[in-house]
Amino acid sequence: MLRSRSSRMILKLKMLVVLLCVAGIGMYYPFTVPDQRLCACAKCLSEDKELLLLRMNHSYRPFLTPDFVLSQDAFNWWKRLQNEKRTYKTYKIITNNIFKMFPRNPDIIQPKSDRCITCAVVGNSANLRGSHYGPLIDSHEIVIRINRGVTRGFEKDVGNKTTHRVMYPESAMDLDNNTHLVLVPFKMQDIEWLIKAFTTGFKGRSYAPIKSKINAKKNLIMVLNPGFMKYVHEVWLQHNGSYPSTGFMTLILSLHICDEVDVFGYGADSDGNWSHYWEILEDKTLRTGVHPGNYEYAIIQQLAQHQKIQFHTGLIKPKRPNAARWRGG
């Protein structure tokens, strides 16, 4: 959107120059064409044409806003994720309610030609153990963590800064007062939960226990757009799997809101085991379930090979990429 706005502006300026020349006024070419750069990094994701060939599409809005109208088609896709029974009309009522309480516009940093928005996306893989990535992760302006990825006690490897935490009700945790809560809604109840968790407390049930109340800053709430989730599934994953994992959606989200992306904590550990960095999972046979883990991992590797992201895989690279699955939702 920004790109097209700025290229439209440049076009208008060029037309103006042509008109002035034709009119014989512009003998000394009175304008300099504005700097085309959209950010101050060495490379800016928002102006990367090759990324468009790799499926990026800037026309999808990452976050819900009051004026966004979800297409019926996208609603029907979203409805199937966790067997939503209620109608589009109910969806509209529920989503309208969130903006009575939470910001109408997501608190994101607008790209600027004199600024470089660097992001660290931190997954929960055990390959972070012993990595000493902490200071590198914390050096980013934006640090995005996922679900219950803890920092206390693991600062050396994962850092201690969290500007954004992406989660859903079943994976929620309390946040400190400068962390954005990015809700990934998989069903209408998830959006209702957000409202209840900040007011009377949530009493409903789900496939896992849900926190009734949450501590977080109301003005730092952002809700991922179901239309964006569908875009990740259909465009980035080419319909593979039932729907994308939270980790993968977070990574694609970062390509849309950051100028530069470093990725940590995705994939298996050096033995191909699946664990979180903070716990040994008992169930070694755990799989990514409805999520197309292998396909997601292949896309991440492709982005890294094309130098769109920096992919930090821990001390030892996973031996078998096809054993690599992101775990956690």
Ligand X SMILES: *[C@@H]1O[C@H](CO)[C@@H](O)[C@H](O)[C@H]1NC(C)=O
Catalytic residues: 243, 291
Contact 288, 325 (CB under 8 A): yes
Strand partners for 119 = 142, 261
Q: Is 206 an interacting residue with respect to ligand X (CB under 6 A)? A: no
What is the size of the binding site for ligand X (CB under 6 A)? 13
Name the minimum Å distance from CB 59 to ligand X: 4
The nearer residue to ligand X, 86 or 239, going by C-beta atoms, is 239
Residues written for the chain: 329
Residues numbered 217-256 forming contacts with ligand X, rule: CB under 6 A:
238-240
Residues numbered 123-182 forming contacts with ligand X, rule: CB under 6 A:
160, 176-177
Query: What does the block give as tokens for 34?
Result: 């504005």
Contact range with ligand X by CB under 6 A, out of 76-84, 196-204, 263-271, 300-308? 263-271
Q: How far apart are CA 134 and CA 312, in angstroms?
A: 12
Q: Is 273 an interacting residue with respect to ligand X (CB under 6 A)? A: yes
- What Cα–Cα distance (Å) separates residue 256 from each residue in 24, 89, 217, 229? 43, 29, 23, 13
Query: What does the block give as tokens for 63?
Result: 């976050």
Distance of CA 272 to the CA centre of its chain: 25
Q: How far apart are CA 314 and CA 38, in angstroms?
A: 31
* Residue among 48, 262, 269, 296 that touches ligand X (CB under 6 A): 269
Q: How far apart are CA 158 and CA 176, in angstroms?
A: 17
Name the minimum Å distance from CB 137 to ligand X: 11
Q: Is 301 an interacting residue with respect to ligand X (CB under 6 A)? A: no
Name the minimum Å distance from CB 238 to ligand X: 4
Strands 221-223, 180-183: pairing kind: parallel
Name the minimum Å distance from CB 307 to ligand X: 21
Residue span 50-79 as binding mask against ligand X, x where in contact by CB under 6 A, dash where not: -------x-x--------------------
Q: How far apart are CA 262 and CA 137, in angstroms?
A: 8
Name the minimum Å distance from CB 322 to ligand X: 14
| Interface ranges with ligand X (CB under 6 A) | 57, 59, 160, 176-177, 238-240, 269-271, 273, 284
